[in-house]
Every structure is written in C-alpha cells, then in structure tokens.
Amino acid sequence: MTDGRSGSLVRIAVLALLWGSAFLWIKLALDSGLTPFQIAFARSALGSAVLLALARAAGRPLPRDRRTWGRLAVAALFCNALPFLLFAVGERTVDSGLAGVLHATTPLWSVLLGAALGTARGTHPVRLGGLALGFAGTLLIFAPWESAGLLSGGTLALLAAAASYAVGFAYMGSRLTGRGTDPLTLSAAQLLAATALSAPAALAGSATAHFAVDARAVLAVTVLGICSTGLTFYLSYRLVADEGATSAATVGYLLPVVSVALGAAVLHEEVGPRVVAGAAVVLAGVAATRWRERGPQPSRTETELKAPAVALSSSDPSRGLTSSKPEPVSAVDLSLP
C-alpha cells in the first residue's frame, strides 16, 4: 500500500508531466499544419469543455452577473487567449524545451510588476536579489553578445506570454479571487471566455487558408486541450486544496525540466550547456523571489479560497489555475503554458 508521501510524489510527477508536456504538444500541432490561432482556440475550447463537465458534475453553476463576466473576459485575455497565442507563435521558431524554460520567468515578471505598481507584498533584499538573478539567467540563455545568441522574435513572443500571465494574475488577484466564488467555477468560466475571444481569428484564418490537418495534429491539440489545459487546471486546484501551496510550487519547478527532457527525447532538440546553466539560474532566482519571512500560516479556508482559478498557465514555473498567486497560492505560483 502506498503511503501518503509516495502518493503525493506520484501526483506531483503526473501533474508535472501533463503540464510540462504542453510545449511538446504545441510544437507537434504547429509542425502538423495548425496555426497559432487555431491552437489557441482549440485548447481553450477543449479545456473549457473538461472544466464545465467537472463543474456540472459537482453541481456548481457558472457566474450570472455581468460584472463578473466582464472581469473574467479581461482575465481570459491576459491569462489564456493572449499567452496561448504567443506561446504558439514563439514555438514556430523556438524549441519546445526553451519555451518551457522561458515560461518559468512568469513569477519574475509578477514580482517586477508588483514592485513597479507598489503592490508587492514585500521588497525584502532576498526577493529583489532573486529578481535580478532570474533576469540574469534569462540574459545568459539569450546570449545577445554572441552571434549565435537566441534573441529573436520567437523568444520575445515567449517572454511576452510570460509577462501577460503576470499582468493577468495581478488582475485576478485584485478583482476575481478570494471573493467566495468556487475556483473550479471561475476556471471553467474563464476558459469559456477565452474560447469566445479566440474564436473569431481562428475561424477567419481557417476559412481563408488551405488547411490540411493530419491525425497527428488532431491528437496533439486534443491532448493539449484536454490533458495539458483542462485536467491540469483541475488537478492543480486539487493539489493545492489537498496538500497545500508547497506541493503545487514543486510542480512548477519541474516544468522546465519536463519540457527540455521531452523536447530532447521526442523532437531531438539540442540543449547546450549555456541554456542549461541559464535555466538553473532562472529557477534559483524564482526560488528566491518566493522567499518570505516566517509568520502565521494561512488557514485551510484561506488557502482553498486562494487556490487556482485559472491560469494556465502556469507559472511560477508552478503557476496554474487562477488564484492570487503570490504567496500562499496565488496566481503567480501556478500557470499553464
């Protein structure tokens, strides 16, 4: 019989695999003929279908007031529709493994945004040092001083996706989470809004282009939408509610490892020592930005209210559903690529 610790490790490993494989499925869908707009729409639609089914099974109705839906539309734009599109755009020219590494910069953008707006919960030197360290690692990855540096339009799109998550998480933390609405309901509604936002461009592009999609494209986008979007949202929420924010954060730190490993094993992508070193520095910086002085621990009720509601997305590297992520379990901690 599996003990509690072993069971926890299995859940973390499964979630990290599902979550971290998103970059691989995006690359496979692109290579098989789908456009970034089609990928963004399909994963939002499939992910929302999963969460709507789970919410319905749990007897949790969607929000009905216009104000909440207006806020969900803003959150869906910055946490789903826009980053989903930018990740697909970026991966047209950037390897899936590197995309996973750049996704891990989301918490750094969150801390930077909080410091710029004066909303950061703390500006302790350790956290500020982590911010500097994280961006130094990003610079090491790009190596703009070398002719073979990785700075390009694709990498800028990926960084913009990570920054978009940070903006969306800040918005969700102030306008959506912690207001008594069930996180699963918010997640389902937000992905539904993202589907509506993504639909026009995806449908317009499909109508004007010759588009032959093979079985691999259908499989890739189906797994991306159902497993790496819908199910990861739900599993992240359950992990936070059952085992706390620390376990959820652990998953986030594994995402770049999973993306790099799958890219190398399945797509034969090469990862040089500079990128590996840069990724290690980025993750060290992210870990430092999560530092906080010991204090009273949030109650279970507080933790559940702050549990992910939608992000996809991830990302500390660990970010995922939608919460107000910074500390206990905020949006900054969990995000989907």
Q: Is residue 297 part of a domain?
A: no
- Specify if 97 maps to a domain: yes
Is residue 79, in this structure, part of any structural domain at all? yes
CA–CA gap between residue 165 and residue 319 (Å, rounded): 9
Domain count of the fold of the chain: 1
Distance CA 91, CA 224 (A): 14
Classify residue 108: in a domain, yes or no. yes
Q: DSSP string spanning 229-270?
A: IIIHHHHHHHHHHHH-HHHHHHHHHHHHHHHHHHHHHHH---
Q: Could you give the count of Cα atoms lying within 13 Å of 160 in the half-sphere of its Cβ?
A: 18
Q: What is the pTM of this model?
A: 0.82
pLDDT for residue 158: 94
The pLDDT of residue 286 is 87
Which two tokens mark 131?
């911010």
The tokens describing 330, both together, are: 């905020």
Q: Which residue has the tokens 């999973």?
A: 258
How far lies 96's CA from each of 12, 134, 320, in Å?
21, 20, 19
Q: How far is CA 205 from the centre of its chain?
A: 25
Distance CA(258)–CA(265), nearest Å, equals 10
Residue 117 placed within a domain: yes
Q: Containing domain of residue 216, as a range?
A: 4-291+302-333
pLDDT, tens digit only, all 337 positions of the chain: 445 566 677 888 888 899 999 999 999 999 998 999 999 999 999 999 999 999 999 999 999 889 999 999 999 999 999 999 999 999 999 999 999 988 988 888 888 888 777 766 556 788 888 888 988 888 888 777 675 556 788 999 999 999 999 999 889 888 887 777 788 898 999 999 999 999 998 887 666 555 567 889 999 999 999 999 999 988 887 777 677 666 666 777 888 989 999 999 999 998 888 888 989 999 998 888 877 655 454 444 444 434 443 444 433 333 434 433 333 333 334 455 6
Determine the Cα–Cα distance for residues 317 and 280; give it in Å rounded to an integer: 12
Q: Is residue 296 part of a domain?
A: no
Looking at the domain assignment, is residue 283 inside a domain? yes
